[in-house]
Amino acid sequence: MSEFDAIFVGAGHNSLACAAHLALKGWNTGIFERSKTIGGAVQSREFTLPGFRHDFGAMNLSLFAGSAFHKKYANELKSHGLEFAPVANCFASAFPDGRWF
């Protein structure tokens, strides 16, 4: 482990942002994640039916979108595929009989 200046346990967006920032400052960073997918709570996947993508726990993503980190690295993040999809009325509960709220 002496090869790293900083180690991050978990590859959520906070760890990824910190590691990227430190790496650009010349630090050797290591990120360790047990899950197959990085991003922690900030990820979009098909959790219900094929073709229906959901944000899993990303309700505070707007704080990241307005952060100093995003402002500084927005172009680079976009070049790696980061894209925000603003929506209205994005919270709902669906019931087995087809009703929704």
Return the domain boundaries, the chain. 6-79
Q: What is the pLDDT of residue 5?
A: 97
The two beta strands, 29-32 and 54-55, are unpaired
Tell me the H-state helices in 2-95.
13-24, 61-65, 68-79
| Under-70 pLDDT residues of the chain | 1, 58-60, 90
Q: What is the pLDDT of residue 59?
A: 66
User: Tens digits of per-residue pLDDT, 37-59?
Assistant: 888 877 778 888 899 887 777 66
